Amino acid sequence: DGGITQSPKYLFRKEGQNVTLSCEQNLNHDAMYWYRQDPGQGLRLIYYSQIVNDFQKGDIAEGYSVSREKKESFPLTVTSAQKNPTAFYLCASRPSGRANSYEQYFGPGTRLTVT
C-alpha cells in the first residue's frame, strides 16, 4: 500500500533528552513537511524539504532539526533546546511538477510526551 508512515505512535521521553521521530513515504513525492499541533489548535510548520539534501525552516523551527538523505525519509529530531516539546507531530508529503501538485497528504502522527 502506498502511504506515509510515522513511528512510533506514542513516545515518552525525559526532559533534556533528544528524540527522533520517523517519517517515511512510498508515494514517490518530492516534498515533505513536519507540522506540530497543540491541543485545540491548528497545525504549525516546523521544517520542510522540497528535494533530497535540502530543507528549509518553517515558522517554529527553533529546537528542532531534520535531515533529508533519501527521497522517502524525512526524520525530525526534537532537541533538548525545544522548550515545550510535548505535542502531536504530523508529517506530510506532496508531489511536485504536476497539476494539483500542491495537495498535501498526512501521516498518522506521533504523540510526544516529555516529562
Partner 1 sequence: GIQVEQSPPDLILQEGANSTLRCNFSDSVNNLQWFHQNPWGQLINLFYIPSGTKQNGRLSATTVATERYSLLYISSSQTTDSGVYFCAVGQRVGSQGNLIFGKGTKLSVKP
Can you tell me which of 19, 33, 66, 85 binds partner 1, judged by CB under 8 A?
33
Question: Per rule CB under 8 A, is residue 48 in the interface with partner 1?
Answer: yes
Of residues 31, 61, 32, the one with CA closest to residue 45: 61
| CA 51 vs CA 6, 23, 37, 80: distances in Å | 19, 15, 24, 27
Between 50 and 67, name the residue whose CB sits nearer to partner 1. Answer: 50
Question: Per rule CB under 8 A, is residue 41 in the interface with partner 1?
Answer: yes
Question: Per rule CB under 8 A, is residue 13 in the interface with partner 1?
Answer: no
Long-range contacts of 44-53 (CB under 8 A, 24+ apart): 46/76, 46/89, 47/76, 49/74, 50/96
Question: Per rule CB under 8 A, is residue 102 in the interface with partner 1?
Answer: yes
Q: What are the two backbone dihedrals, phi and then psi, of residue 104, each rounded to the nearest 5 degrees?
A: -100, 150
End-to-end Cα separation, the chain, in angstroms? 36
Between 34 and 82, name the residue whose CB sits nearer to partner 1. Answer: 34
Question: Per rule CB under 8 A, is residue 100 in the interface with partner 1?
Answer: yes
Residues at the contact surface with partner 1, assessed by CB under 8 A: 31, 33, 35, 37, 40-45, 48, 50, 56, 58, 88, 90, 92, 94, 96, 100-106, 108-109, 111
